[in-house]
Amino acid sequence: MVGRWRKPVAGMVLALAALSAAPAMAQNKTLTISWWGFNGDKLEEIILKPFRAQCGCDLVFETGNNADRLNKIKIRGGGGVDVVYLTDSYSQLGIQEGLFQPVDRAKVPNINGIYDIAKEPQGKFGPAYTVGRVGIIYDSAKVSTPITSWNDLWRDDLKRRVSLPGITTTAGPMTVLVAAGKAGVDPYKDESAAFKALEQLKPNVVKNYNTGSELVNLFSTGEVSVAMAQDFTLTQIQAAVPTVRWAELKEGDYATLNTVNIAKGAANPELAHQFINFILDPKIQQTLAERGVDAPVATAVQLTPEQASRWTYGQKMISSLRRLDYEKMNAAKTDWLDAWSEVFGK
């Protein structure tokens, strides 16, 4: 999922150096992957080592956050890498910039075995390889009445007890959608009403957080007892505060997808298709979920209740998620940033 706290891939610099230093290796096929580089040891064992054995190729990596990596690809005119891992908000930007090429579904047969939400999340471009959600978490020991609606964030009994994600985080812009829902307006047509609702919510907000670790600290110190959050934070927060729960919201949670695309100027598009098919294999997806790396999108994956508790998993949960129009959201972000500063920068 997006922005997780995971261990960087070891040896990437060595891999790059070896690629340039060894003449024999230069004759091999090379797949260049742009990704975050988290959870390196597990990914080496589960994905990278077996894929090298299957393809007989070398793997080279470009690592960093979404914005930095996408900007590098843009500067290079869609070249320099083959496979691109991004959150769906950033992959939408890449699509709009013309940086990716369509994915040939006939070359990725494992797409047929994943949830519909992940098959074509942005049309003919890359699929999602994992799915998450944004919802509300709360400390059941401190919040006596369970939270069952997004509108509950405005409850009088939650004054100075709530934390919202900062507007520049993955979940941040969704606060505007939540506020628009409270106001009963379309956030893209009546931004002012949405931010008026956020102004009304402000007395309940202790602090806007910008990282998962910051949110863990806010709960563990007791500064907050309610937060709008991504699901990957839940396990770590519950480790610190076992009474924290994920709210069952009648309106549903928001979906967050991590996508994998093929760069427009990919040097090895056939190998890129092969890699995407590989990571969508049900056996790989099963292992990734069991080892705590990513939520599965392959419908054949079977998890125990304990394993499933940490993930956005199962047809019932997946079908309840609310999708976002990232094209509209990305276009509105600049104005929202300014309006957000007016509300919370005071």
Residue pLDDT, tens place only, 170-195: 899 999 999 999 999 999 999 999 99
pLDDT given at position 24: 39
Q: Which fold has domain 30-131+256-318?
A: D-Maltodextrin-Binding Protein; domain 2 (3.40.190)
Q: Could you tell me where the beta strands, DSSP code E, fall in 147-211? A: 162-165, 205-209
Indicate the angle between helix axes 88-96 and 326-344, nearest 10 degrees. 120
Q: If you classify domain 133-254+326-345 with CATH, what class do you get?
A: alpha beta
Q: 29-35 and 83-87 as β-strands: parallel, antiparallel, unpaired?
A: parallel
pLDDT given at position 282: 98
CA distance 93 to 53: 34
Under the banding of pLDDT at 50, 70 and 90, the label for residue 277 is very high
pLDDT given at position 25: 40
Residue 41 is given by DSSP the state H
Ramachandran class of 338: left when φ > 0, alpha when ψ lies in -120 to 50, beta otherwise: alpha
Tokens, residue 67: 């914005």
Q: 29-35 and 57-63 as β-strands: parallel, antiparallel, unpaired?
A: parallel
pLDDT given at position 177: 97
Give the three-class secondary structure for 2. coil
Q: State percent of the chain over pLDDT 90.
A: 86
Q: What is the rounded average pLDDT of the residues 30-54? A: 95
Under the banding of pLDDT at 50, 70 and 90, the label for residue 22 is very low
- As a 3-state breakdown, the chain gives helix, strand, coil percent values, each rounded to 5, of 45, 20, 35
Tokens, residue 120: 């074509």
CA distance 142 to 203: 18
Residue 233 contacts residue 63 (beta carbons within 8 Å) = no
Give 310 or 156, the one with higher predicted confidence.
156
Residue pLDDT, tens place only, 228-274: 999 989 988 999 999 999 999 999 999 999 999 999 999 999 999 99
Q: How far is CA 38 from CA 25, 294, 295, 321, in A?
A: 26, 11, 15, 26
Under the banding of pLDDT at 50, 70 and 90, the label for residue 12 is very low
Residue 158 contacts residue 252 (beta carbons within 8 Å) = no
Q: What is the rounded average pLDDT of the residues 67-78? A: 96
pLDDT given at position 40: 87
Do the domains spanning 30-131+256-318 and 133-254+326-345 agree at the CATH topology level? yes
Res 217 pLDDT > 50: yes
pLDDT given at position 170: 87
Under the banding of pLDDT at 50, 70 and 90, the label for residue 38 is confident
pLDDT given at position 232: 87
**Mean pLDDT for the chain overall:** 91
CA distance 149 to 247: 8
Q: What is the rounded average pLDDT of the residues 46-71? A: 96
Q: What is the rounded average pLDDT of the residues 188-211? A: 96
pLDDT given at position 26: 40
Give the three-class secondary structure for 244. strand
Q: What is the rounded average pLDDT of the residues 122-127? A: 97
Residue 127 contacts residue 85 (beta carbons within 8 Å) = no
Indicate the domain borders of the chain.
30-131+256-318, 133-254+326-345
Q: How far is CA 223 from CA 94, 107, 171, 186, 196, in A?
A: 38, 51, 20, 32, 25
Give a three-class secondary structure readout of 289-323.
HHCCCCCCCECCCCCCHHHHCCCCCCHHHHHCCEC
CA distance 235 to 178: 24
Tokens, residue 180: 């628009």
Q: Which of 108-112, 143-147, 165-169 has the lowest mean pLDDT?
A: 165-169
CA distance 95 to 84: 12
pLDDT given at position 134: 97
CA distance 301 to 295: 10
